[in-house]
């Protein structure tokens, strides 16, 4: 699989890291992005540029898209010079964007009409783990398609979970992003209360980390909050998009949620106050402003860096009770 010609569309915070991993592993890579500087950076490292999504898809075996919204994905796929126009029998499309499951299925059907194979393969774990190839990947599609692309996914990620048919990965991804957002909103409240109550913030961080209150979000986003940079390479508008997708999924299935609408309202308010492109951990600023404090610690990093070595990716097999 490593001798496949791969095309990558979307060289943003996550996509650029994933595409960089492919280059570092000697993959023949063609790239496409609306930002010419991002493209030039990859060309300087050995990638080929494409003038359109259609040109990219026609010249490779595997097309990967990693884009900011379902609307952008649809445009890149379906415009006259889009990916669909360049697909043919035997080619593969991997949608690595966080997108709507119904939209993933709709576009997958159009891909299959061209004789190609479609999978939705969103990632989870943060940009710092995408940079090292240690991120987690959810993969939705047939088992045969999954096994075909597993060698490439093993380069891009560490833990890879086959979730079922196309669309299932996207549903699971918005669920996990919702949980991440709930943790972030709760941490903003807990850290602010600790500050106002006079607790030492470094001690507070460690107390949470070694207790039942710990989470991956605390071990990453709390650090950039306490540094003051709040730079986790994820922004308010993306939170609103992702939690909105989760909220819509629940409403489509008549699940009467209570927390999700509250959290969505908190981040919509944050986006109105501080801008849609404000870093998402700065949601704590709503509470800092209300209490006239700054929630800061000492010695925390401005950005998270994954210092674990890249290990070969592997399939995560769900636990199931034996029927014997």
Those residues of the chain that have pLDDT short of 50 are: 1
Q: How far apart are CA 225 and CA 300, in angstroms?
A: 9
Rounded to whole angstroms, how far apart are CA atoms 215 and 209?
Answer: 7
| Cβ atoms 18, 37 nearer than 8 A | no
Q: Tokens standing for 57?
A: 């898809």
pLDDT at 324: 52
Question: What is the per-residue pLDDT for 2?
Answer: 56
248 with 265: CB under 8 angstroms? no
User: Residue 95 has what pLDDT?
Assistant: 98
Only one residue has tokens 């991804």, namely 173
Closest listed residue to residue 191, CA positions, set 282, 299, 304, 303? 282
pLDDT digits (tens, 9 = 90+) for 269-310: 999 999 999 999 999 999 999 999 999 999 999 999 988 888
pTM: 0.94
Active site positions, annotated = 173
pLDDT of residue 1: 47
> Residue 322: what pLDDT?
62
Task: Identify whether the C-beta of residue 120 lies closer than 8 Å to the C-beta of residue 104.
Answer: yes
CA dist 241 → 80, 177, 210 (Å): 26, 10, 32
């Amino acid at each position: 699989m490593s001798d496949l010609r791969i095309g990558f569309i979307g060289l943003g915070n996550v996509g650029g890291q994933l595409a960089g991993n492919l280059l570092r592993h000697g993959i023949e890579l063609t790239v496409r992005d609306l930002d010419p500087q991002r493209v030039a950076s990859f060309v300087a490292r050995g990638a080929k540029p494409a003038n359109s999504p259609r040109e990219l898809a026609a010249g490779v075996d595997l097309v990967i898209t990693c884009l900011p919204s379902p609307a952008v994905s649809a445009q890149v796929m379906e415009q006259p010079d889009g990916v669909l126009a360049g697909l043919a029998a035997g080619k593969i499309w991997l949608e690595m964007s966080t997108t709507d499951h119904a939209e993933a299925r709709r576009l997958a059907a159009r891909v299959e009409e061209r004789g190609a194979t479609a999978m939705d393969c969103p990632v989870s774990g943060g940009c710092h783990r995408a940079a090292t190839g240690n991120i987690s990947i959810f993969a939705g599609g047939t088992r045969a398609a999954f096994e075909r692309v597993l060698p490439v996914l093993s380069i891009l990620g560490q833990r890879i979970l086959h979730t079922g048919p196309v669309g299932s990965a996207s549903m699971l991804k918005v669920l996990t992003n919702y949980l991440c957002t709930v943790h972030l909103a709760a941490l903003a409240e807990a850290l602010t209360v600790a500050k106002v109550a006079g607790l030492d913030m470094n001690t507070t961080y460690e107390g949470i980390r070694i207790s039942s209150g710990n989470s991956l979000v605390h071990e990453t986003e709390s650090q950039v909050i306490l540094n003051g940079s709040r730079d986790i390479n994820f922004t308010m508008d993306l939170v609103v998009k992702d939690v909105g997708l989760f909220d819509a999924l629940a409403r489509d299935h008549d699940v009467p949620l209570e927390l999700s609408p509250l959290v969505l309202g908190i981040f919509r308010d944050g986006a109105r106050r501080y801008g849609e492109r404000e870093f998402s951990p700065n949601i704590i600023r709503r509470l800092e402003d209300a209490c006239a404090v700054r929630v800061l610690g000492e010695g925390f990093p401005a950005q998270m860096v994954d210092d674990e070595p890249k290990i070969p990716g592997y399939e995560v097999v769900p636990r199931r009770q034996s029927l014997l």
